[in-house]
Amino acid sequence: MTPSIVSLRQSLERLFQHPPVVQLVMELGLIVSQRALQANVLHLASSPSGASSMSQTTPSASPQPATARLFPLGHIVATPPALSVLQQHGIQPLTLLHRHGSGDWGDLDPEDVQANVEALEQGWRLFSSYRIADGVKVWIITEADRSVTTLLMPDDY
């Protein structure tokens, strides 16, 4: 398996805590991913319980203890440029997804943080921005109906 597939498999094993389920998800995910890549979007697996771990401070390859998710992430998708940047910097997408889902909005100004707080109460769209390196940001957007969460680069918007 390629390093990115191994990394995804390890993330899924932590997420689902059951290797046979991970194998099935991996097989299904690879089929979906091949089709999705043709559409320029890669689909990732998500746990309804949000049981996997996350980092509270900065993006890293080493997840930290889990924090409760504030809202459902729905179907998780990511653009290939966002996944490429995360891989280049050794950051697993699930780390940022869990930060986002727990209300750690990353590098937002106070007005945008307040907008997310109101969005949680009102059921509006949620936005996070994470600085990966100098001049490099990854955005995460969860739609108002919580059906889809997208990892993307600002240029993908």
Distance CA 46, CA 20 (A): 16
Domain ranges for the chain: 3-156
Q: The pTM is what? A: 0.61
154 or 45: whose pLDDT is higher?
154
Buried b (16+ CB within 10 A) or exposed e, 73-90: beebbbbeebbebbeeee
End-to-end CA separation in angstroms for the chain: 31
Q: For residue 46, which amino acid is it?
A: S
pLDDT at 13 (0 to 100) = 56
Assess contact for 44 and 77: CB atoms under 8 A. yes
Token pair for 109: 């100004």
Q: How confident is the model at residue 115 (pLDDT cuts 50, 70, 90)?
A: very high
